[in-house]
């Protein structure tokens, strides 16, 4: 495998998840590691020919048939034209890159997944992975916040998991938005507020967080107040990985490189590093 | 594939930026496959605005009421409006004397003879309409213009340049005309993208592409002063292409 | 001690023999006074008195702007098929050799960069000793970097003591054997440079963001990028993709970038993780003196002095480094 060379992939399906976000399903060479062997929290590089390449977290689970699920918010140079992507369109993929969530350390633990906005993408990947072997873990709780009800994604799927009793789900939105029939029991509050009334056993809880950088400091300080140790808090950091393989220098966090040392770091690794959480 | 419909218009300027497009002789056949140059008065007649445009490329600043009308009309009809060249982006040479009395300037140029059309202080496009992307330069680089068109064909806008002429000049391993020759080279303050066209020929950068993002004018003036160029001289030089330079 | 020796007057003959093996480049002073690595064609001798070239030899390994991928709708993305002819770099100072050693550690690591690897293996390095000037700080920073070369020329009276550092160097000595002689000379050990010394394992405390120096540097910086473009170990690059007018082809290029530029730490949507220049200076400092990722703890500064020499504002990180890294000259 040459990690510098994107392999061909085609758009298999694209469906809207929210007003500015789509679920892009790609199809590439079956059995290629970019589709078949990654950990939740790792990322791939998606190329749109003639436009550019961007890092994206995996949003689904590894597949044998070469399919890859990605959550695309159409705000950037590459993601904006992807809005008009259609099945059959040619793209390129390379990966997987970086370090994902530490699944081996999660065995037997209660897991607290905290997703803000688009941060649901890697956490959905983590959740689906955890649910494949539900018996290996203790409590599974997902706290999920978005700008407004219309921006909450994968709701049907998440509510179904909740109905089946395999996860505990708490939802919140910054503002009610225009969706009158919001999901049941959705609060109107900022994401860290969900931690206020949460009962957890800090000694057996691991937190996995992905969201906009602005919520990280508050989430971390709340978790610490609840007694969760720094090495039990894992965060996925967003940086602009241009090469993905530790060469281009764009994604450094302190002296660590997000693309090879991350993008998932434990808070113990990040504490005291300037600019890590801001 | 559907050809993109373009409008290419010139306002107060020398038409050089539009000529740049016509000078892309090698690429014109390919361009005509991808684009319909529907409104391009400099190149084809009759030129009538009609329907909607995927993009309007506008050269020049606005200094007359009918130009403002045309610009608003182009904006209404176009998905993207691109400021093409320094006059459109910053005001350019036509705006050189902005801030001085219009009446006095009129008398200096036309004396007592009547002037046919009403004019006002030249303005860059963005002071009147929303501009989606800019291609600076007097004129811009042909490569940049072609890249813009290739990007438009893919439904994207060009990536912004964040480095100065100095950066490209260093990459070319040129003699530094500022530090080694003590000339008034405006490279450190000027938006890159030209490949250091002038310093490559040992000519100090004239600043034709306007300011680079986050330029440090204060410090640059201090350095120029040490080399014997007072603030007034430097600012006058900078304002030849961008009247917006202020202390 | 018996040492191989080549006389000063045999330098031209040496270059002539090298040219039979490959194109030879070395420091050449141009008509404009700028010293650059350039081809040493017949009749042109390298300027071995010059302390430093404007651009370091990294320009041979990472071009300022280069195509890294080509795309066509038929073939998809492909690595460029670049033929890399052998090249001999002559007259590299220890700092530049250490700079190449640093780049090797980045680009020839676990996952070698194909373009870099191809060019690097085509390169033969011939070093030469030098005398540091007031801008050099090669003797200040203990560093595990090595000034590795295939051949090294140590300046001695009347010529150079010549030693080989690789099988490739041995091969070259074979080519040079009629102009190289064995002599009993004392080659002064180059004690001034720290390359090859171990760095202390001591973990440095985080940089203090409240030091006034960061803002002072930021206020005086023009943001021109010269410091890192001319640095032998700065290798940040931007990646850009340009679509062809035909709508079916594209090229992806990488271009030298600079951590002081506005977009360096921007992510989609325009948010930046290093909005102000003072933060970017800390980033630059951290990279230069403490290293990133797999090279954490390995200072990237080889003390060539280029950043100080080329800065239009005369900025100098050395005094700060001397203090923060507790370097005692």
| Global ipTM | 0.90
Name the helix (H) or strand (E) containing C20: helix C11-21
Instruction: Tell me if residue A93 falls in helix, strand or coil.
Output: strand
Who has greater pLDDT, C70 or C327?
C70
Q: For chain A, which domains are there?
A: 7-97 (2.40.30.10), 103-270 (3.40.50.80)
With beta carbons under 8 A apart, name residues in chain A contacting B151. 51
Chain centre distance of CA A202: 23
In the structure, what pLDDT confidence band is assigned to residue C299 with cuts at 50, 70 and 90?
Answer: confident
Using the predicted structure, report yes or no on whether residue C261 has a pLDDT greater than 90. no
Q: Do C237 and A247 touch (CB under 8 A)?
A: yes
Question: Do residues C178 and A243 lie in contact, with contact meaning Cβ atoms separated by under 8 Å?
Answer: no
Q: What angle do CA B159, B162, B168 make, to 5 degrees?
A: 105
Question: C218-227: per-residue pLDDT in tens?
Answer: 999 999 999 9
Nearest CA in chain B to A77: B156
In the structure, what pLDDT confidence band is assigned to residue C289 with cuts at 50, 70 and 90?
Answer: confident
Q: How close does chain C come to B47, measured CA to CA in Å?
A: 25
Using the predicted structure, report yes or no on whether residue A146 has a pLDDT greater than 80. yes
Q: Do A80 and B154 touch (CB under 8 A)?
A: no
Q: What is the pTM of this model?
A: 0.92
Q: Do B155 and A81 touch (CB under 8 A)?
A: yes
Query: Percent of chain B at pLDDT above 70?
Result: 99
Q: Do B156 and A80 touch (CB under 8 A)?
A: yes
With beta carbons under 8 A apart, name residues in chain A contacting C238. 242, 248, 250
Q: What angle do CA C23, C24, C30 make, to 5 degrees?
A: 120
What mean pLDDT is predicted for residues B57-62? 97
C258 vs B147, B167, B215: nearest CB: B167
In Å, what is the CA distance from C222 to each residue of B183, B243, C248? 16, 21, 40
Nearest CA in chain B to C36: B173
Is A250 part of the contact surface with chain B (CB cutoff 8 Å)? Answer: no
Residue A236 dihedral angles phi and psi, to the nearest 5°: -100, 120
- Burial group, residue A188, by CB count within 10 angstroms (0-12, 13-18, 19+): middle
Task: Give the pLDDT of residue B107.
Answer: 87
Task: Give the pLDDT of residue C192.
Answer: 64
With beta carbons under 8 A apart, name residues in chain B contacting C59. 173
Task: Give the pLDDT of residue A180.
Answer: 55
CA dist A114 and C21 (Å) reads 62
CA dist A132 and A141 (Å) reads 15
Question: B151-175: per-residue pLDDT in tens?
Answer: 999 999 999 999 999 999 999 999 9
Architecture in CATH for domain B4-153: 3-Layer(aba) Sandwich (3.40)
Question: Do residues A149 and A182 lie in contact, with contact meaning Cβ atoms separated by under 8 Å?
Answer: yes
What mean pLDDT is predicted for residues C11-25? 95
Question: A170-207: per-residue pLDDT in tens?
Answer: 999 888 766 556 667 888 889 988 888 888 999 999 99
B34 vs C64, C65, C245: nearest CB: C245
Provide the CB-side half-sphere exposure for B20 (13 A, CA).
Answer: 26
Nearest CA in chain B to A76: B156
Chain B interface mutation, best of C222, C246, C313, highest count of B Cβ atoms under 10 Å: C222
With beta carbons under 8 A apart, name residues in chain A contacting C293. 246, 252, 255-257, 260-261
In the structure, what pLDDT confidence band is assigned to residue A273 with cuts at 50, 70 and 90?
Answer: confident
Count of A-C CB contacts under 8 Å? 136
Count of B-C CB contacts under 8 Å? 107
Task: Give the pLDDT of residue A182.
Answer: 64
Is B28 part of the contact surface with chain A (CB cutoff 8 Å)? Answer: no
Q: Do C224 and B167 touch (CB under 8 A)?
A: yes
Beta-bridge partner residues of A144: A115, A171
- The chain B residues in contact with chain C (CB within 8 A) are 1, 27, 30-31, 34, 146-147, 149-151, 153-154, 159-160, 162-164, 166-167, 170-176, 178-180, 187-189, 202, 212-216, 218-220, 223
Averaged pLDDT of chain B: 93
Does the CA dihedral A50-A53-A59-A60 come out positive or negative? positive
- The full set of domain ranges for chain B reads 4-153, 165-239
Q: Do A249 and C259 touch (CB under 8 A)?
A: yes
In the structure, what pLDDT confidence band is assigned to residue C203 with cuts at 50, 70 and 90?
Answer: low
Q: How close does chain C come to A196, measured CA to CA in Å?
A: 29
What mean pLDDT is predicted for residues C152-158? 92
C223 vs B30, B178, B215: nearest CB: B215
Using the predicted structure, report yes or no on whether residue C29 has a pLDDT greater than 60. yes
With beta carbons under 8 A apart, name residues in chain C contacting A257. 292-293
Both tokens assigned to C3: 């040492």
B166 vs C64, C225, C245: nearest CB: C225
Is C262 part of the contact surface with chain A (CB cutoff 8 Å)? Answer: no
B219 vs C220, C246, C310: nearest CB: C220
Query: Percent of chain C at pLDDT above 70?
Result: 95
Q: How close does chain C come to B128, measured CA to CA in Å?
A: 24
Q: How close does chain A come to B174, measured CA to CA in Å?
A: 25
In the structure, what pLDDT confidence band is assigned to residue A109 with cuts at 50, 70 and 90?
Answer: very high
Q: How close does chain A come to C260, measured CA to CA in Å?
A: 11
Is C286 part of the contact surface with chain A (CB cutoff 8 Å)? Answer: yes
DSSP string, A174-196: SS--S-SSPPTTEEES-GGGGGT
Does the CA dihedral C300-C306-C312-C318 come out positive or negative? positive
Task: Give the pLDDT of residue B9.
Answer: 96
Task: Give the pLDDT of residue B59.
Answer: 97
Q: Worst-scoring range by mean pLDDT, A103-107, C117-121, C206-210, C236-240?
A: C206-210
Using the predicted structure, report yes or no on whether residue A164 has a pLDDT greater than 70. yes
Using the predicted structure, report yes or no on whether residue B103 has a pLDDT greater than 80. yes
Is C259 part of the contact surface with chain A (CB cutoff 8 Å)? Answer: yes
A84 vs B150, B155, B159: nearest CB: B155
CA dist B45 and C25 (Å) reads 56
Kindly give the residue spans of alpha helices, DSSP state H, lying in chain B: 16-22, 28-34, 65-77, 86-90, 102-110, 142-153, 165-171, 197-200, 217-226, 231-239
Q: Do A5 and C267 touch (CB under 8 A)?
A: no
Using the predicted structure, report yes or no on whether residue B112 has a pLDDT greater than 90. no
Using the predicted structure, report yes or no on whether residue A216 has a pLDDT greater than 70. yes
Instruction: Tell me if residue A92 falls in helix, strand or coil.
Output: strand
Nearest CA in chain C to A246: C293
Is B156 part of the contact surface with chain A (CB cutoff 8 Å)? Answer: yes
Q: Where are the beta strands (DSSP E) in A2-64?
A: 7-18, 21-28, 43-48, 52-57
With beta carbons under 8 A apart, name residues in chain C contacting A250. 236, 238, 257, 264-265
What mean pLDDT is predicted for residues A232-251? 91
Q: Strand A233-236 to strand C180-184: parallel, antiparallel, or no bridges (unpaired)?
A: unpaired
Task: Give the pLDDT of residue A178.
Answer: 62
């Amino acid at each position: 495998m040459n990690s510098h060379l994107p392999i061909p992939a085609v758009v298999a399906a694209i469906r809207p998840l929210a007003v500015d976000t789509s679920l892009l399903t790609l199809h590439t060479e079956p059995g290629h590691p970019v589709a078949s062997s990654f950990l939740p929290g790792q990322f791939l590089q998606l190329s749109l020919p003639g436009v550019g390449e961007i890092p994206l977290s995996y949003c689904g689970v590894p597949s044998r048939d070469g399919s890859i699920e990605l959550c695309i918010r159409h705000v950037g140079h590459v993601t904006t034209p992807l809005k008009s992507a259609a099945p059959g369109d040619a793209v390129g993929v390379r990966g997987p890159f970086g370090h994902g969530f530490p699944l081996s350390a999660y065995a037997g633990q209660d897991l607290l997944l905290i997703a803000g906005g688009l941060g649901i993408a890697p956490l959905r990947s983590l959740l689906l992975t955890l649910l494949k072997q539900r018996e290996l873990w203790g409590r599974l709780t997902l706290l999920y916040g978005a700008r407004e009800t219309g921006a909450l994604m994968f709701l049907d799927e998440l509510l179904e998991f909740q109905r089946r009793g395999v996860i505990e789900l708490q939802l919140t939105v910054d503002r009610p938005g225009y969706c009158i029939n919001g999901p049941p029991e959705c609060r109107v509050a900022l994401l860290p507020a969900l931690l206020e009334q949460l009962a957890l056993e800090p000694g057996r809880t691991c937190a996995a967080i992905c969201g906009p950088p602005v919520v990280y400091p508050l989430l971390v300080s709340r978790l610490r107040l609840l007694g969760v140790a720094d090495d039990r808090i894992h965060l996925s950091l967003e940086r602009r990985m241009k090469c993905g393989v530790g060469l281009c220098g764009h994604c450094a966090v302190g002296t660590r490189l997000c693309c090879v040392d991350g993008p998932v770091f434990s808070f113990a690794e990040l504490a005291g590093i300037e600019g890590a959480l801001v | 594939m559907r050809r993109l419909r373009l409008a290419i218009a010139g306002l107060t300027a020398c038409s050089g930026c539009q000529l740049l497009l016509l000078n892309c002789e090698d690429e014109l056949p390919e361009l005509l496959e991808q684009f319909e140059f529907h409104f391009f008065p400099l190149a084809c007649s009759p030129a009538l605005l009609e329907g909607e445009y995927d993009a309007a490329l506008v050269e020049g600043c606005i200094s007359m009421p009918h130009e403002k009308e045309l610009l608003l009309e182009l904006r209404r009809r176009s998905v993207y409006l691109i400021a093409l060249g320094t006059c459109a982006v910053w005001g350019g040479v036509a705006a050189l004397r902005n801030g001085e009395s219009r009446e006095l300037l009129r008398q200096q140029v036309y004396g007592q003879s009547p002037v046919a059309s009403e004019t006002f202080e030249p303005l860059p496009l963005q002071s009147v309409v929303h501009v989606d992307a800019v291609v600076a330069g007097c004129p811009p680089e042909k490569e940049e213009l072609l890249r813009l068109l290739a990007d438009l064909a893919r439904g994207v806008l060009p990536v912004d340049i964040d480095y100065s002429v100095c950066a490209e000049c260093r990459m070319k391993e040129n003699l530094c005309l500022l530090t080694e020759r003590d000339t008034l080279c405006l490279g450190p303050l000027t938006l890159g993208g030209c490949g250091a066209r002038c310093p490559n020929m040992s000519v100090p950068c004239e600043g034709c592409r306007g300011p680079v993002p986050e330029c440090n004018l204060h410090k640059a003036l201090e350095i120029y002063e040490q080399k014997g160029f007072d603030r007034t001289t430097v600012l006058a030089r900078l304002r030849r292409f961008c009247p917006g330079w202020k202390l | 001690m018996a040492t191989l020796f080549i006389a000063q007057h045999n330098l031209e003959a040496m270059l002539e023999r090298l040219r039979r093996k490959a194109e030879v480049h070395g420091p050449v002073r141009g008509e404009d006074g700028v010293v650059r690595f350039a081809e040493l064609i017949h009749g042109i001798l390298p300027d071995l008195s010059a302390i430093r070239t404007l651009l370091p030899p990294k320009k041979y390994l990472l071009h300022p702007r280069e195509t890294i991928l080509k795309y066509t709708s038929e073939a998809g993305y492909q690595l460029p098929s670049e033929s890399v002819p052998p090249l001999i770099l002559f007259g590299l100072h220890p700092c530049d050799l250490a700079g190449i050693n640093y780049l090797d550690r980045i680009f020839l690591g676990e996952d070698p960069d194909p373009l870099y690897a191809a060019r690097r293996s085509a390169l033969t390095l011939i070093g030469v000793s030098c005398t540091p000037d007031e801008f050099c700080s090669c003797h200040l920073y203990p560093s595990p970097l090595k000034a590795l070369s295939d051949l090294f020329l140590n300046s001695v009276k009347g010529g150079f003591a010549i030693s080989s550092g690789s099988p490739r160097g041995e091969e070259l000595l074979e080519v040079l054997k009629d102009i190289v002689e064995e002599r009993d000379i004392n080659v002064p050990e180059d004690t001034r440079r720290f390359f090859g010394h171990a760095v202390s394992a001591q973990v440095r405390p985080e940089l203090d963001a409240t030091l006034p120096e960061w803002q002072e540097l930021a206020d005086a910086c023009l943001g021109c990028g010269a410091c890192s473009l001319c640095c032998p170990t700065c290798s940040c690059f931007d990646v850009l993709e340009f679509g062809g007018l035909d709508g079916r082809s594209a090229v992806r290029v990488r271009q030298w970038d600079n951590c002081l530029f506005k977009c360096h730490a921007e992510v989609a949507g325009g948010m930046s993780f290093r909005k102000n220049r003072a933060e970017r200076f800390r980033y630059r400092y951290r990279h230069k003196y403490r290293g990133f990722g797999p090279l954490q703890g390995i200072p990237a500064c080889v003390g060539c002095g280029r950043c100080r020499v080329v800065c239009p504002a005369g900025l100098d990180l050395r005094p700060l480094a001397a203090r923060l890294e507790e370097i005692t000259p």
